[in-house]
Amino acid sequence: MSNIISTKDGRLHIYVRQDKYKGKLKSENWVGRTFYKGKQKVVSSGTTDLEEAKKILEQWYDDLISGKLDVNENSEKDLNNNINLEQAVETSNTNDDQVSNIKQEITKENQLQNTTSSKIPEEKKKKLFNFDLSSLKNLSSLKEKLSFKKDNSENKNNKKDKNNLSKFKKLFSEKISKANVAGEEIAGIDIGEDSIKIAQLSKKENDWILEKISLRLLDKNKTADGVINSKDYVSEELKLGMANAKVSTTNVAISIPVTSAIIRVVTSPLMSDDELQKAIETDSLWENLVQLTDDLNEYSIFHQVISRNNKTNTMEILFVASKLSDVNAYSSIVKKAGLNPVILDVKCFTLKNAFDNSFKIENKANNALLEIGSEDNYLIIVHDNIPIITDIFLRPNEKDLLGQFDGNIQNTDTESVVRRYCMQLKQALSDYESKYSSKINNIKIVSSLGNIEELIPLFKKNLLNTGLQVFDPLNELQIPAYNQEKTNLRNRSIYTSVLGLAYRKLDVFGYYKFVTAVKNINLLPNREALKRQSKLKFLSGFAMKGLVGGIAALYLFLIGFSFFQISSNKGKLANENNILQEFNLVSAEHKKLSKTVSDMQKALKLGGMVNSNQTVSYRALAQITRSVPQRVQFTDLNYNGNNQVIITGLAFSDQDIINFIANLNGKDLIDQASLKAMNVPKGKNDLQSANNKKGFTILCKLKI
């Protein structure tokens, strides 16, 4: 690869690509490369002329950023015939020479861009456990291959919306995660070479209660080939231990030895969660950051971002991996016992979890944990969520000497082993103190050795300025009376790992993501499927609780409303007599007004029969009105609209009726007035109720 030419603010790289096919040079021309939407884009200019190639490639870059090429991705695919470097490395049929050449090209490119990249402090590139990150000569160049830089001017508003949504999702996840974690029942199981420890805890307010605990010693003759090679025997003993502890839940958290795990904190270019996930899915991240001896697919990997540094554009990632064969071996032991493994942690982190839950220990940051045993020997320090683990090397015969030491008998060989042990501890403590400018004052010891109390004086002789105490994980637990005998041991630190597992909860909503990485390790390869099942179970139960709660709330509301209505009605019934009296008064007034309205309606009806627009009818009505004697009263007047009026009324005597008829006949507009009918009325009306009144009907014909 020739020199790289950077244009478009360093976002478009132009260089000569030498493509080979079956070891022979196929073509040599200028190509362009950039990152867009999280993916690397490579396109060939089709020419060996640099100036012409720059025009073609810069136009392609402008079209890509503006979105024109997104409309027709097929055209871009036609142009992008040359695969990128990472794809060439991943191709299965690429020969060793090609891979070597490609790696050399990447190294050269990193060296060329070193002048414009941010410099990363060398101490951050050092690997824990003697892991060398010297191959990452330029982290900024690696970031260019894994990620891309977004255009702030175009995506400013979108970023704000995404940030607000991200904050809401984080808050919601944290709240619902706490609810889920609090309600999950899990038993911890620690399987060692010499024993099986089982424990289950419950929490009441801020106090932890040791509900179930069991210690099952193993026959060393039956586990001489190791626990993994004695699955049938160990699983049967595990069943007995579960029965002895009376543990009902089948969900368990287990651990693997530190020697079966790879634990590293690696420094990576700064990426968002989405970019990080894309890099992991393509296997490009771990291949660049972590150098494993075997194929990546043979490992179960857990990772979590510990910190992000925007100033240096880097972030630190906790990387924990274990061989799938070891993970499946430990899982199969508990499965044979009829249990369901939901968490698989590393033993060093289970010790740290138990230590973190010992709230009475002051200045935890100045404390370290040390495991001394016949299996693992290591020192663990956690600084700002970064685990620093130092393996203490002991030969098998030296481990035996530690386990056989008797404090009453002086043993120079054992003292020599302890002296070499402490030399390694001093070196680890010195490295930590010089790097982080922080001093470790106390070391809490966890050991499966029965003679650990006799060994501590030997360690104190060699570590004069450091406090050493056997860690008691049961010190702050509430222990019921039925578990007192099981926990009444001289060395109670043997329960540290199992209690650290018992504190663990299946985190399906990412609660521990907001707390600390070392509390969230889970190396089970099927952990995502377990999370989905647990989410569904939790959400189903959550929905059912919500439904039951809603129904209960509705019933409470109805009951409360009923009581309110009853009280209100009682208050109203107290004024029943007053209301009844008021009703009677209103009713009497209503009748009076109804009678008045009735009379008015009758008058209106009579007036409506006469068309006031006709002069003759008006004058005739006036003459009829003037013809009425004093002792005669109208009850009805019916005008047919032509020349006939029927008058109905009451009179005191027959003579009054005759006088009325005579008066009518004397009018000039009355052609003839005659008595049509006469009767004695029998109504309830006051005008008709007098016995001396007579009803009459007179027919008047008008002169029209």
Rounded mean pLDDT of 496-518? 69
Model pTM above 0.85 = no
In sequence order, the 6+-apart residues with CB closer than 8 A to the CB of 255 are 190, 191, 344, 345, 346, 347, 350, 497, 501
DSSP assignment of 508-545: SS-SGGGT-GGG-----TTHHHHHHHHHHHHHHHHHHH
pLDDT at 82: 38
Position 22 confidence tier, pLDDT thresholds 50, 70, 90: very low
**Residues 30, 131: Cα–Cα separation, whole Å:** 38
Residue 131 has pLDDT above 70, yes or no: no
In sequence order, the 6+-apart residues with CB closer than 8 A to the CB of 289 are 133, 136, 266, 268, 317, 319
* Chain segment 624-681, per-residue pLDDT in tens: 888 888 888 888 888 877 788 899 999 988 888 898 899 989 888 888 999 888 888 7
Torsion angle of C-alpha atoms 649, 653, 656, 662, degrees rounded to 10: 90
One-letter amino acid of 686: D
pLDDT at 622: 85
Residue 467 tokens read as: 């406090």
- CA-based max dimension of the chain: 163
Mean of all residue pLDDT scores within the chain: 77
pLDDT over 70 percentage in the chain: 73
Query: What are the structural domains of the chain?
Result: 5-116 (no CATH), 365-472 (3.30.420.40), 609-702 (3.30.1360.100)
DSSP assignment of 7-36: ETTTTEEEEEEEEEETTEEEEEEEEEEEEE
Rounded mean pLDDT of 400-406? 89
One-letter amino acid of 153: S
